[in-house]
Amino acid sequence: MTAPEAQETVEDPEQIKRETGLVVRGFSRKRLNLIPILQKVQGKLGYLPRAAMTEIAAYLNIPDIDVYGVVTFYNQFRLNPPGRHSIRVCLGTACHMKGGYIALDAWKRRLGINPRETSPDREFDLDTVACVGCCTMAPVTVVDEKPERQVDPTRVDGLLLAFENERKAREKEKGEKS
């Protein structure tokens, strides 16, 4: 499961260690708990930083490389912090054939990043998914857990504009507060 939207990511190494420690202690020190632990830690931190991985390896008493190997094997795990908004372009068969790759191009062009990357301002992270089960609405992009239908380059611009307005409103609010 992906992290809930607009979650604050944790980046301070001390805090990462502390939070990871809290999670691992809910599990017994068995190797077979590795994947559930990783899922839970990522759920907490939004990603799996190095400090978290070494902490987990130490707890399970396995080499760091084993943890790293598992993390990089599975698509679900991410090594860099997520953006505020998650953009998942469906490249399932139906979506691909109806132009999912055109939508992906548009996202890449507008955000200036590749799939599995986060934009430098940490507003967006981009990724692809296989069929999300709403092929009727192809091509689909899942934006913050919500599948958007028939996403073409114009729709990409529309969605981004909505986020931009939201961001401005947020900054204005911040400005007024301080």
Give yes or no for residue 31 binding other proteins (CB under 8 A): yes
Give CA–CA dist 48/81, Å, rounded.
8
Residues 6+ apart with CB under 8 A from 148: 140, 141, 142, 155, 159
Which segment (25-33, 50-58, 116-124, 166-174) binds other proteins by CB under 8 A? 25-33
- Select the binding partner of residue 57 from ligand FES, other proteins, none (C-beta < 5 to 8 A, by kind): none
Identify the H or E element spanning 19.
helix 13-24
- Select the binding partner of residue 153 from ligand FES, other proteins, none (C-beta < 5 to 8 A, by kind): other proteins
- Select the binding partner of residue 123 from other proteins, ligand FES, none (C-beta < 5 to 8 A, by kind): none
3-state helix, strand, coil in the chain (%, to 5): 50, 10, 35
CA dihedral for 52, 19, 76, 36, sign (positive or negative)? positive
Within 77-136, the residues that bind other proteins by CB under 8 A are: 77, 91-94, 96-97, 99, 102, 105-106, 109, 129-136
- Identity of the residue, 94 or 113, whose beta carbon is nearer to ligand FES in the bound complex: 94
* Closest distance to other proteins from the beta carbon of 75 (Å): 4
Site string for ligand FES, 102-141 (x = CB under 6 A): -----------------------------xxxxx--x-x-
Give every strand in the sheet of 124-129, ordered side by side: 117-118, 124-129, 85-90, 141-143, 146-148
- Identity of the residue, 60 or 129, whose beta carbon is nearer to ligand FES in the bound complex: 129
Neighbours of 19 (CB within 10 A): 18
Query: Nearest CA to 14 among 4, 6, 22?
Result: 22
- Identity of the residue, 14 or 32, whose beta carbon is nearer to other proteins in the bound complex: 32
Which segment (7-15, 16-24, 46-54, 71-79) binds other proteins by CB under 8 A? 71-79
Give CA–CA dist 23/42, Å, rounded.
10
